[in-house]
Amino acid sequence: MKLLVCISQTPDTTAKISFNPEGTDFNAAGVQFIMNPYDEWYALVRACELRETLGGTVVALHVGTVANETTIRKALAIGADEAVRINRDPKSAADTAKQIATYAAAENFDIIFFGKETIDYNGSEVGAMVAEYLQLPYVSFASKLSLNGSTATMERDIEGGVEELEVDLPFVVSAAKGMAEQRIPNMRGIMTARTKPLTEIQPVDFEAPSTLVQFTLPPAKVGVKLIQPDDMDELVRLLHEEAKVI
């Protein structure tokens, strides 16, 4: 079993979001970065569980600069066997997808895992793009995944419900809540992560068909309007006349 888990890093939820004065670049100074939770808690952990019961290898793949190696080491500490970093600061999901697909095309993975989306851009784009490049089936938002021989049984979230399905290896999957439980790396994991292989490979050229023009900050909330608990008619009036939502 050869499993690939694609991990990205995102600013921590509590991070203060700011940009350069032109609004053309994210200001990373002082920002704490974390492994994207969907990649870490669900995709990576489920891949490690499958490897533990069925044998094989889990490769953690990251597209990013050397500054992101802390995140990659964490994936190794949680249980990935080896890691690959494609040395590029990707400027779009399309760029990331092209890099991952180029690498994976030569490797014949049985399953390629993604988190269902990153918590910073929430685009949910890369998994579908990689699946299209590789012409593999893509099961999005899977909340359960079990393997029986070369057939996977999965549940995925669809509009207003859940679907149970089967698909044969190889395939691409994006992991949603429910697929696994978060794992905190233990001391042994952290120690062995230091000696596990982390290979750097060079990116391919790619000109993204869409580019960022500018970031802006939304206007600040004007502040909460407090309503007296004994005057719910007033709240209803405000929701109707001022906010116009009922």
Partner 1 sequence: MVLVFVETPRGLLKKTAFEAVTYAKKTADLLGTSCVALTLGSVSNAGELGRYGASRVLNIPGDALDQLDGQVFSAAISEAVGKLEASVVILSHTSTGKTIAGRLAVRLNAGLISGASALPTVAGSALHIKKGVFSGKAVAEYEIKSAIKVISLMGNAVKPEVSADAVAVEPLSVTLTKSLIRVKATKTQEGVVPLSEAEIVVSAGRGMKDPSNWGIIEDLAATLGATTACSRPVADSDWRPHHEHVGQTGIAIRPNLYIAVGISGAIQHLAGVNSSKVIVVINKDPEAPFFKAADYGVVADLFDVVPRLNDAIKKFKAAN
Judged by CB under 8 A, the chain residues 105 through 164 that form the site for partner 1 are: 117, 119-129, 131-133, 135, 137-141, 153, 157-164
Site for partner 1 in 209-228 (CB under 8 A): 209-218, 221, 224-228
- Minimum CB separation of residue 27 from partner 1 in Å reads 11
**How many alpha carbons fall within 13 Å on the CB side of residue 133?**
20
Size of the site for partner 1 (CB under 8 A): 77
Under the phi-then-psi rule, with left for phi > 0, alpha for psi from -120 to 50, and beta for the rest, what region is 213? alpha
What 8-state DSSP symbol labels residue 95?
A: H
Site for partner 1 in 51-80 (CB under 8 A): none
245 binds partner 1 (CB under 8 A): yes
Q: Which lies closer to partner 1 via its Cβ, residue 106 or residue 242?
A: 242
Site for partner 1 in 192-211 (CB under 8 A): 208-211
Q: Of 133, 73, 68, 142, whose CA–CA distance to 106 is shortest?
A: 133
Q: Contact at 8 Å (CB) between 165 and 140?
A: no
- Minimum CB separation of residue 198 from partner 1 in Å reads 28
- Minimum CB separation of residue 14 from partner 1 in Å reads 5
Q: Of 128, 163, 126, 124, whose CA–CA distance to 143 is shortest?
A: 163
Site for partner 1 in 225-244 (CB under 8 A): 225-230, 232-233, 235-236, 238-240, 243
Q: Contact at 8 Å (CB) between 12 and 46?
A: no
Q: Which lies closer to partner 1 via its Cβ, residue 14 or residue 202?
A: 14
The dihedral built from the CA positions of residue 72, 174, 120 and 92, taken in this order, carries a sign that is: positive
Q: Which lies closer to partner 1 via its Cβ, residue 58 or residue 172?
A: 172
179 binds partner 1 (CB under 8 A): no
For 46, the 3-state DSSP assignment is helix
184 binds partner 1 (CB under 8 A): no
